Amino acid sequence: MEPIDDLIREAMPRAPRGIADAVEKRLATRRRARRSLVGAGLFVAAAAMLVLWLVARPARVNESSWMAKSATVTTIDGRPIAIDRPLPVGAVVHVAGGGEARLERPSAGERARVQLFANTDARVGDGALELLTGSARLEGPEARLTGDVAEVTTLGVGAAATVELRRNAMLNKNMAALAALLTVGVVDGGARVQAKGHAPVLLAKNDRTMVAPKMPPLTTRAPAKTSAKSPTPAPAPAAKPAATPTANEDDNILDKDIIRTTVQKHLPEIRFCYEQALKESPKLGGKFVVKFTLVTKDGVARVSDGEIVPGDEGYLESLSMQSCVLQAFSRWRFPPSRTGEDVVVGYPLVFKAGDDEAE
Amino acid sequence: MADELDRPTLSRCRRGDAQAFRALVERYQDRVYALCVALAGSDAEDLTQETFVRVHGAIGSFDDDGPAHLGAWILTIARRLCTDRARWRARRPTVALDVVALGDATPGADAQLERARQTRALRQAIAELPEDQRAVVALQVWDGLEYEEIAAIERVPVGTVRSRLARAKEALKRALGLDDEERNGTDR
């Protein structure tokens, strides 16, 4: 051993006090940090797994109570439709030209059936089918079709109704009233038609109604089986168009002549409707009564709840023409009633092919 | 290596016994600290604590039947940490050895003053040695490791350890003027 070794050894530094305490403190701090890190890691991992699960989970197929009982040239979401299998909610049934599909679901102990005709699209809902375009026949209790125009529900076990939804894709939303037209005709039993923004209309057998967006339903009542003599006075001579309001509830609050004047002012519009109908049926002719309520507001009366009811005889049954006439009436403005109250009006119209069509 | 931790205490350390680990720290802290002072100067205390934190995390992997004693294993960890710190402080190559407090005071005012003067001179001389020589001096003289153990820690042949140690001691003797005394003694 050299003397320098002793000198170096004597110069060996000694650890300051508290090294062991400081080490314990560092270890405790790191344990806490590790626990926090593990907790944060677990939280992040759990959150990531939740996000992955939400993103990657298979879409839940919600089955409806509707089943196809028969179908030809029909697809559902572009695939062949399965018979006697529940249809998935949200799927679109497409019946191509020449095809037909019969769908049904349990309802009130019976079967609600919907027959979709050719060129029809309908989206499957849990309780109702949404008619997108085309035509269908509803049968049974509470067979229901919904849509952006109106909801149609059959009433009664033996009820049956036809529904047709025509769309005109050429028209923009500023002409929404003409962009779609839903026509409902009751074949048997009754039906309820609920147009958006309007009171529901109850239809009986052979009644018809037409619904266009932003318009009140235009209803045509079936002619009564026993035709009672109407108190309506005889129509004016053909050469002098003078349709006469005959069902004014209260002559004291709205003069018939005022109504007649307004209608005559717009008679070319009625004539236009008739001329259009004549193009399809050149021998078309007959009578009906436009029944409506005049609602006075802000100093002017407007038509509300218009419907077509048959006259006593010679009922003119052209649905498209009736719709045209009702729409014309709904556009007009009448003088206000004397008391400001609503007035129910029945206005008979007589159509006859020749020089003067409407009277 | 003398004064090793007994096996039962080491086993308790492995099982996470805090009291046993405290005993381990107290057993090796001076040797670790001395090495860190030689290699890292003012960072020695921090590096000593960090060494034992690392030892705590790795004690389970220490093989007490392996070639290295526990002390040599701990000093290997300390050496690596000092090397890493030295790299990190590459812009501060000078080791401030003189700020480190030294050991026990010695009785006798004159002797104490002389010893203190000599110790300061020696510390300064050690600080001025190259790092590899400082390391072998600390490991051999302060930590009492064998040449083979030092060679394993320094990852150099034993011959290199011997030559580094010899060069270091010669430099220290020169710094303290001891080589003149030896030469004069020989001349006489």
> B43 lies in a domain?
yes
Would you kindly state where each structural domain of chain A is located, as residue ranges?
A: 63-218, 256-351
> B101 lies in a domain?
yes
- pLDDT tens for residues A185-200? 999 888 888 888 777 8
> B2 lies in a domain?
no
- pLDDT tens for residues B87-133? 887 655 444 444 444 444 445 567 677 777 878 888 888 988 999 99
Which of A10, A11, A20 lies at the smallest CB-CB distance from B26? A20
Q: Does the beta-carbon distance from A10 to B115 stay under 8 Å?
A: yes
Site from A5, A7, A34 to mutate, B interface, most B CB atoms within 10 angstroms:
A7
Question: Of the ranges A132-141, A316-325, B43-52, B176-185, which one carries the lowest mean pLDDT score?
Answer: B176-185
CATH top-level class of A63-218: mainly beta
Determine the pLDDT at residue A59.
64
> B178 lies in a domain?
yes
Taking contacts as CB-CB distances below 8 angstroms, the residues of chain A near B101 are: 13-14, 16
Determine the pLDDT at residue A247.
41
Q: Which residue has the higher pLDDT, B105 or A240?
A: B105
Q: Does the beta-carbon distance from A23 to B53 stay under 8 Å?
A: yes
The boundaries of the domain holding residue B98 are: 7-187
Determine the pLDDT at residue B99.
40
Taking contacts as CB-CB distances below 8 angstroms, the residues of chain A near B173 are: 4
Q: Which residues of A141-162 are buried (b: 16+ CB within 10 A; e: fewer)?
A: bbbbbbbebbbbbbbeeebbbb
* SS3 state of residue B81: helix
What is the number of structural domains in chain B?
1
The complex scores an ipTM of 0.79
DSSP string, A304-328: EEEEEE--SS-B---HHHHHHHHHH
Q: Does the beta-carbon distance from A8 to B122 stay under 8 Å?
A: yes
d(CA A66, CA A85): 8
> B69 lies in a domain?
yes
At residue B129, φ and ψ (nearest 5 deg) are -70, 155
Q: Where are the beta strands (DSSP E) in chain A?
A: 63-76, 79-80, 86-88, 92-107, 110-116, 120-124, 129-139, 144-146, 150-167, 180-195, 201-203, 208-211, 218-220, 286-297, 300-309, 333-334, 343-351
- Report CA torsion sign: A79, A81, A82, A87: positive
Chain A: nearest CA to B76, how far in angstroms?
18
**Structure tokens given for B168:** 């270091």
Chain B: nearest CA to A36, how far in angstroms?
18
User: Please, which residues 6-35 of chain A have a Cβ atom closer than 8 Å to chain B?
Assistant: 7-16, 19-20, 22-24, 26-27, 30
- CATH of residue B139: 1.10.1740.10
pTM here is: 0.44
Q: Does the beta-carbon distance from B29 to A2 stay under 8 Å?
A: no
Q: In whole angstroms, how far apart are CA A286 and each of A136, A185, B5?
A: 29, 20, 121
If you count DSSP H runs as helices and E runs as strands, how many of each does chain B have, helices first? 9, 0
Q: In whole angstroms, how far apart are CA B33 and each of B2, B68, B94, B104, B170?
A: 17, 19, 18, 15, 24
Q: Does the beta-carbon distance from A14 to B103 stay under 8 Å?
A: yes
- Cβ-based contacts under 8 A for chains A and B: 85
